[in-house]
Amino acid sequence: MTELWFAIVSVMLTLYVVLDGYDLGAGILHLIVARTDVERRQVLAAIGPYWDGNEVWLLATGGALFVAFPKVLAAGLSGFYFAIFLLLWCLILRGAAIEFRSHLGDPLWRRFWDVVWSGASVLLAVFLGAALGNLIRGLPLRPDGWFDLALFTDWSARPPVGILDWYTVLVGAFALGELALHGAHYLAWRTEGPVQQRSRRLAGKLAMVLWFAWPLVTAATVLVFPQLARAFAARPAAWLGFALALTGALMVGRGHKRANDGLAFLGSSAWIAGLLVATAACLFPVMLRAVPDAALSITAYSASNDTHGLRTALTWWAIGFPLAIAYLVALFRIHRGKVVVDDGPGY
């Protein structure tokens, strides 16, 4: 049951990154690919039906941690207090920018909220990547299971560690690039005209950078956490994740070559999902890795709820998860096709 819930949490977090990732990517790029008010409304209309629903997957992941691994959630919220505070502000500012932008027709007002949306999207992507980097690199867990982190120490990725160092910033930058690529593919798929053409060109350039950056980030990860490479070699789930990521990267290339935006978007989705699946498989059963003493790490087994609680939660999850997926499928079906911006109120 513990293994199943570890997989459930990993799947839900992956869904959040893939689904909200194209929203974040659109926010990251909209000042670049959209240069007029009509074009920026086109970008907003492309994500308008989805962005708030996609963010719910982050809350659902937190809920799954609460019912299955409460110790992990408690330690993580406490240790990453400042970082989570910044992440929440970014989420709030993104939502406020999307909703407030069209309340006034003044160009300065709209420009202000455009910049806020872009800035919050960039920071959120970097924060999410840096958070993953912290989990891989390790945290200064104490014997009582708690930890605290400075914003940065000496940038060395060695104890004493902080939230930011060369490795976590590198992973944050890679996450920013991946989500920007994901957003560019989505905009190319859902828009037309100048926004589509700029998104396609930018996606091609980003893909080239990320194809070279992926092995570099992998090498850095092995340098920071050598045991990850040994775990990868021994775990079939990690190989499946790598195969999914590699297939996604190849689909991105094929989509660019054939100007098939839908294929490229599916490829970037698979690329991101595969990377996260492989990482989760390599880390299992560790959920919060301790440095320098790995014996203090919090694992899925040491942090899980009792069997009765896990079974009860699984019953409710089995009801709610299919409903959420059905809602997502229905939403994409209802809003299929290219977005159209009219002269009415809203985006």
Residue with the two structure tokens 């160009």: 107
User: How many structural domains is the chain composed of?
Assistant: 1
Q: Is residue 332 part of a domain?
A: no
Q: Can you tell me the distance from the alpha carbon of 133 to that of 149, in angstroms, rounded to the nearest whole number? A: 14
State the pLDDT at residue 342.
65
Domain around 30: 2-230+275-310
pLDDT at 49: 87
At 335 the three-state DSSP class reads coil
Q: For 304-324, what is the mean pLDDT?
A: 89
* Burial (CB count <10 Å: 0-12, 13-18, 19+), residue 102: middle
What's the confidence (pLDDT) of residue 48? Answer: 84
**Phi/psi zone of residue 340: left (φ > 0), alpha (ψ -120 to 50 degrees), beta?**
beta
Answer whether residue 77 shows pLDDT above 90.
no
Give the separation between CA 74 and CA 78, rounded to whole angstroms: 6
Is 193 part of any domain?
Answer: yes
| pLDDT score for 11 | 93
Report if residue 236 sits inside a domain: no
Domain membership of residue 175 (yes or no) is: yes
Find the mean pLDDT for residues 281-300. 90
Residue 322 in any domain: the answer is: no
Is the pLDDT at 346 greater than 70, yes or no? no
- Determine, yes or no, domain membership for 115: yes
What confidence score (pLDDT) does residue 345 get?
52
Residue 343 has pLDDT above 60, yes or no: no
pLDDT(257) > 60: yes
**Separation CA 58–CA 291 (nearest Å):** 27
Which pLDDT value is given to residue 158? 83
Residue 117 lies in a domain: yes
Q: pTM value?
A: 0.93
* C-alpha–C-alpha distance, residues 16 and 10, integer Å: 10
3-state secondary structure of 1: coil
Mean pLDDT of 169-192: 95
Extract the runs of DSSP E, i.e. beta strands, from the chain.
150-152, 162-164, 286-288, 298-299
- Residue 58 pLDDT more than 70? yes
Look at residue 186 and tell me if it is in a domain. yes
